[in-house]
Structure 1
Amino acid sequence: MNGTELRFCEELIRRVGKELLRHFHTFDPCATTAEMTERFQHVNDAAQDQLRMALAQHFPDYAWSDAEFDVSMQQQPEFEQPYWVADPIDGAVHFLNGVTMWASTLCLVKNGKAVVSFIYDPCRDELFTACAGQGAWRNGERIHASKKTDLSQSIAGTLYASSFPMNEEIGKQTAESVSRVMPEVFATRVLGAGSLQLAYVACGRLDGYWEYGTGLYDWLAGSLLVQEAGGRVTAASGEEFGWSSAGILASGTSLHPQLLKLIAA
Structure 2
Amino acid sequence: MTEQVPTRELYDLARRVGLEAAAYVRSARPAGRVDVASTKSSDTDVVTEIDEACERLIRERIFAARPDDGFVGEEGDDVIGSTGVDWVVDPIDGTVNFVYGIPMYAVSIAARHDGEIVVGHVVNIASGAEWGAVAGEGAWCHEGDDRRVLAAPTVARLSHALVATGFNYVPEVRAKQAAAMARFIPQVRDIRRIGSAALDLCALAEGQFDAYVEQGLKPWDLAAGGLVAREAGIVLSGLDGGPDERLVMGAHPAIAEEYFALVRACGF
TM-score class normalised by the smaller sequence:
0.7 to 0.9
1:219 Cα deviation after fit? 1.1
Matched, 1:135 2:134: no
User: What is residue 160 of structure 1 aligned with on the other side?
Assistant: 167
Matched, 1:63 2:70: yes
Q: Say whether the 8 Å CA contact 2:70–2:80 is kept in structure 1.
A: no
Unaligned runs of 5+ in 2: 1-5, 39-45
Note the alpha carbon deviations across 1:141-162, whole angstroms, 9 max, x for none.
1111231130122110100122
Note the alpha carbon deviations across 1:104-139, whole angstroms, 9 max, x for none.
101111111111111110222111111110100111
1 CA distance for matches of 2:219 and 2:21?
23
1:83 Cα deviation after fit? 0.8
Percent identical residues: 22
Q: Taking structure 1 as reference, are residues 84 and 160 closer, same or farther at Cα in structure 2, changes over 3 Å only?
A: same
2 CA distance for matches of 1:150 and 1:47?
42
Instruction: Give the TM-score of the pair, scaled to structure 1.
Output: 0.85
Matched, 1:36 2:32: no
1:9 Cα deviation after fit? 2.4
Counterpart AA for 1:21: R
Count of aligned pairs between the two proteins: 247
User: What is residue 250 of structure 1 aligned with on the other side?
Assistant: 250
Stretch moving more, 37-46 or 202-211: 37-46
Instruction: Give the TM-score of the pair, scaled to structure 2.
Output: 0.84
- Please tell me the root mean square deviation across aligned C-alpha atoms, in Å: 2.3
Determine which of 1, 23, 36 is the counterpart of 2:28.
23
Unaligned runs of 5+ in 1: none
Q: Taking structure 1 as reference, are residues 83 and 227 closer, same or farther at Cα in structure 2, changes over 3 Å only?
A: same
- Map 1:182-221; keep pairs closer than 5 Å: 182-213=185-216, 215-221=218-224
User: What is residue 3 of structure 2 aligned with on the other side?
Assistant: none
Counterpart AA for 2:205: A
Q: Say whether the 8 Å CA contact 1:130–1:136 is kept in structure 2.
A: yes
Q: Say whether the 8 Å CA contact 1:129–1:225 is kept in structure 2.
A: yes
Determine which of 114, 119, 122 is the counterpart of 2:117.
114
Q: Say whether the 8 Å CA contact 1:180–1:262 is kept in structure 2.
A: no
1:257 Cα deviation after fit? 1.9
1:22 Cα deviation after fit? 2.4
User: What is residue 178 of structure 2 aligned with on the other side?
Assistant: 175
